[in-house]
Amino acid sequence: MMTRERYYGAWTFDEMVGAAQKNVELWKSVRVRATIDEEALRRVRALGGEWHLLVLSEDWCGDSVSTLPFVDALAAATGNVDLRILGRDANPDLMDSHLTDLSSRSIPVVMVLDDRFREHGWWGPRPTLLQHWVLGEGQAVEQTERYKEQRRWYARDHGRTTVDEVVALLERARDAIHGASASTRAV
């Protein structure tokens, strides 16, 4: 269960990187280069209200290193979204309720929470197009080469797909809340 205290007890992105044992320079390097286009920022600012992104991750995860710096940059630039990170392995209750294909503890997982810390959906472990490749034709590629291709995909994408998918999730959450509010008022 998510509470305000549990959320704010989690690490910020900078705290997570400061405590990281793996990929420290990569985490820092990707975050320094992470930029968010103005349209994504406009869409998030237009959401109104206060939003929280709770992430399950580990410092060794290549998909996390490739996506979370951009999600943090989005949150940092908007003013109405913040981000906190919990370790996957230290939070099995959350991880087990966000399994990929109902069986895999794949990370990162980015949960969208409203101002009362209620969850309204989640994203992960990687952008949809890349996930389809990994689970499809990527299975025929030797593991080392598959990881190299994933890194190349992320390098070409520059976080754009991740940001777009997370922004779309935030918009769906807002629409669901407003739809629920409108139907409640209509009764």
Contact in structure between 49 and 176 (CB atoms under 8 Å)? no
The CA distance from 141 to 138, in Å, is: 5
pLDDT in tens, the chain (187 residues): 799 999 999 999 999 999 999 999 999 999 999 999 999 999 999 999 999 999 999 999 999 999 999 999 999 999 999 999 999 999 999 999 999 887 889 999 999 999 999 999 999 999 999 999 999 999 999 999 999 999 999 999 999 999 999 999 999 999 999 876 544 434 3
Kindly report the pTM of this predicted structure: 0.92
**Torsion angle (degrees, nearest 10) of CA 88, 147, 13, 159:** -130
Give the structural domain span for 27.
Answer: 4-186
Query: Which CATH number do you get for residue 166?
Result: 3.40.30.10
Q: Tell me how many domains the chain contains.
A: 1
User: In 3D, which of 76, 112, 111, 114 has the Cα closest to residue 91?
Assistant: 111
- What is the DSSP secondary-structure string of 95-109? HHTS-BTTTB--S-E
Q: Give the model's pLDDT for residue 186.
A: 41
